[in-house]
Amino acid sequence: MNAAGRSATPWLRPVAILAALGLVAVVGRPAVGQLAVMERTVGHERLDFLIGEWSHEEIQTILGQERTVRSSGKYSWLPGGVWLRGEATVRGLPGIDVHHGWLQMTYDAAADEYTELWYDNQSPMLFINRGGWTDEKTLVMHGSHEWGGKTIYSQNVYRVVSESEFSREYLVSDDGGGNYVRRSLARYRKRR
């Protein structure tokens, strides 16, 4: 203790709390504790279509005005090849100078499902989606989050068009009954 009656190491308590929370998370969810030993599988390889640098540009009508929306993205495997990392930037949206987001995605072979984590500079939350392939070309990720006192259900739909093109559609619903409305649809082309 110092003269003011405070601990000389004020950082020690938060570190101990974080360590305890981490232990609870590992004990409570065994899959989290297994992440360190995940191995690359065919399920991971199916995400290889995203690897590279991509761009998208189109004229959209937003809030009654035509605007040119431009976006770019870059995807790569983190060391070990089981976590895909993506980064995206969108310009041209009303009221937002630059919308910048980050994605991480992996395949859990034990659960036979994909997990997608998304966070950005516009939302105060981490979006968690889970899903799988509905056919050879379509990966659908489902999630939900609280927004404005309501539960919002969402879908990210990735469609492989060719080796140099894919689309990402974002759909939302506030009833959970499958009545989804398209919020965005972007067709990305690989940069040469």
Supply the CATH number for residue 86's domain: 2.40.128.20
Element (H or E) spanning 61, and its range? Answer: strand 52-62
Q: How many domains does the chain have?
A: 2
Domain with 131, as residue range(s), is 41-190
**What are the tens digits of pLDDT across the range 47-58?**
999 999 999 998
Residue 64 pLDDT grade (very low, low, confident, very high; cuts 50, 70, 90): confident
109 burial (CB, 10 Å; 0-12 / 13-18 / 19+) is middle
Q: Assess whether 60 and 141 both reside in one domain.
A: yes
**What are the tens digits of pLDDT across the range 111-159?**
999 999 999 998 888 999 999 999 999 999 999 988 888 898 999 999 9
Q: How far apart are the first and last CA of the chain?
A: 61
| pTM assigned to the model | 0.75
